[in-house]
């Protein structure tokens, strides 16, 4: 278990640094209100995870290396790639109802929960300062 944790931690540090470097590169080149850096890492991560998933299906890659790459590097590079990978796995396994549910639920809640959290924090703040 310790080796697995170290693989994820090492890969995670690589993915986080890559994400930061891409953010820096894009943000210094393009000053925009549109989140180009986030879009770039999410789409790149999805492409890379799909490519590696297909490629690793043809060659042997140890479970530890898969853990380092998929969970560590790509998991910290972009959580969106993990989301894409999970959906792809569900499609590959023929679990279409689960795939649609898994696609729609996080998409809906990713938009609604920040709003709910903001409303809750406003309510919490008012409660603390009015009482």
* Whole-number pLDDT of residue 18: 96
Q: What are phi and psi of 73, to 5 degrees?
A: -65, -60
Which parts of the chain have pLDDT scores under 50? none
CA distance readout (Å), 120 to 26, 42, 113: 34, 29, 10
* Whole-number pLDDT of residue 96: 94
* Whole-number pLDDT of residue 83: 79
* Whole-number pLDDT of residue 131: 66
Closest CA to 86 of 73, 71, 72, 76: 71
* Whole-number pLDDT of residue 119: 82
CA distance readout (Å), 130 to 52, 99, 125, 127: 55, 46, 8, 5
Alpha helices, DSSP H, located in 1-131: 2-29, 36-56, 63-66, 74-77, 79-92, 96-130
């Amino acid at each position: 278990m310790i080796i697995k944790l170290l693989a994820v931690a090492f890969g995670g540090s690589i993915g986080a640094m890559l994400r930061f470097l891409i953010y820096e590169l894009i943000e210094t080149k393009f000053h925009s209100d549109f989140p180009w850096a986030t879009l770039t890492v999410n789409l790149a991560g999805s492409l890379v995870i799909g490519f590696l998933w297909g490629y690793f299906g043809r060659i042997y890659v140890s479970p530890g290396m898969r853990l380092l790459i998929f969970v560590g590097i790509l998991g910290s590079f972009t959580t969106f790639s993990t989301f894409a990978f999970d959906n792809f796995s569900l499609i590959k396994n023929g679990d279409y109802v689960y795939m649609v549910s898994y696609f729609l639920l996080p998409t809906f809640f990713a938009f609604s929960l920040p709003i709910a959290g903001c409303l809750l924090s406003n309510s919490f703040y008012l409660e603390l300062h009015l009482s």
